Structure 1
Amino acid sequence: MTTIEVTSTSEEGYVTRSRVGDFELTIDATDEEGPNPNATLLADYASCFVPAFRVGGQKEGFDDLGRIDVDVEGDVDDDDDLEAIRFHLLVEEDLDDDEFDAIVERAEDICHVHSALREGLHAEITGETGGF
């Protein structure tokens, strides 16, 4: 089992600086010195899903999917809690709907952030292929 260690510090206000290995990440609930926690979660989710999509593509026989862009939208309620997440993928490789859906299904099983979120908050995923 691997342990992930993060050290987060908030010296004042709503800014938190986290040290993750050799990297520093600044998150600000007010969006002034960095993205807010919900935006960071959406970026993290997309950043996990893309490599999972690539691995899923390899398992479906596509060794190189080319460029992949993900547009992410998240809906928040009046308490700033995420209610819904949507991914729209633009994939360079030209896939038919069944191929795309099969890769998405595999990616959902592979993506660790997808697994960590409550089921009601998994991303709704649409896409286009043969792009760029």
Structure 2
Amino acid sequence: MADINVTSTSEDGFATTSRVGGFELTVDATEEEGPEPNGTLVADYASCYIPAFRVGAQQRDYDDLGRIEIDAEGDLDGDEDLEAIRFDIRVEADIAGDEDELVERGEDICHVHSALREELHADISVEGSAF
């Protein structure tokens, strides 16, 4: 039995609606009915990385990072395939001196990071005491 079950349906055109558990997500290559697939992948990566970053920080006794915000960017090649991803992370807490270790811990924990080919792993910069 599978751990994840998704049903994706496209009636016509380029929009696909996926049912994931009790949620529905529409992805549209033309961006008329929802975000396009590459944008959705970058958003999914960032959405997975934030809780992974928090867990990694908790393992280093940062129990309250406060607000975390990621500005994520993706570069496309000539075939419209993702070739690079960058995260600029702002963290409310003062994490001065521990940024690199926390980034690495987040990468080790993030499931999307683990699922992507290595050349698509995000290039990550972090700014603490940002809010």
> Normalising TM by the smaller chain, what interval?
over 0.9
Task: Check whether the contact 1:45–1:113 (CA below 8 A) recurs between aligned residues.
Answer: yes
> For each residue in 1:81-116, what CA deviation from the matched residue of structure 2 results, as whole angstroms up to 9, or x when unmatched?
00000000000001113x111111111000000000
* Structure 2: gaps of 5 or more residues: none
Structure 1 segments of 4+ aligned residues over 3 angstroms from their partners: none
What amino acid is the match of 1:106? Answer: R
Give the alignment of 1:28-39 within 5 angstroms: 28-39=28-39
Give the alignment of 1:1-132 within 5 angstroms: 3-97=3-97, 99-132=98-131
- Compute the TM-score of the two structures, normalised by the length of structure 1: 0.97
What amino acid is the match of 1:81? Answer: D
The number of residues matched between the two structures is 131
Give the Cα–Cα distance (whole angstroms) in 2 for the partners of residues 45 and 129 of structure 1. Answer: 20
Task: Check whether the contact 1:60–1:102 (CA below 8 A) recurs between aligned residues.
Answer: no
Give the Cα–Cα distance (whole angstroms) in 1 for the partners of residues 111 and 100 of structure 2. Answer: 19
Alignment RMSD: 1.0
Cα shift at 1:73: 0.2
- Compute the TM-score of the two structures, normalised by the length of structure 2: 0.97
Give the Cα–Cα distance (whole angstroms) in 2 for the partners of residues 11 and 58 of structure 1. Answer: 45
Does the C-alpha gap of structure 1 residues 2 and 62 become closer, same or farther in structure 2, counting only changes over 3 Å? Answer: farther
Cα shift at 1:60: 1.0
SS in 2 for 1:11: coil
Identity of aligned residues (%): 66
Cα shift at 1:2: 5.9
Give the Cα–Cα distance (whole angstroms) in 1 for the partners of residues 57 and 66 of structure 2. Answer: 11
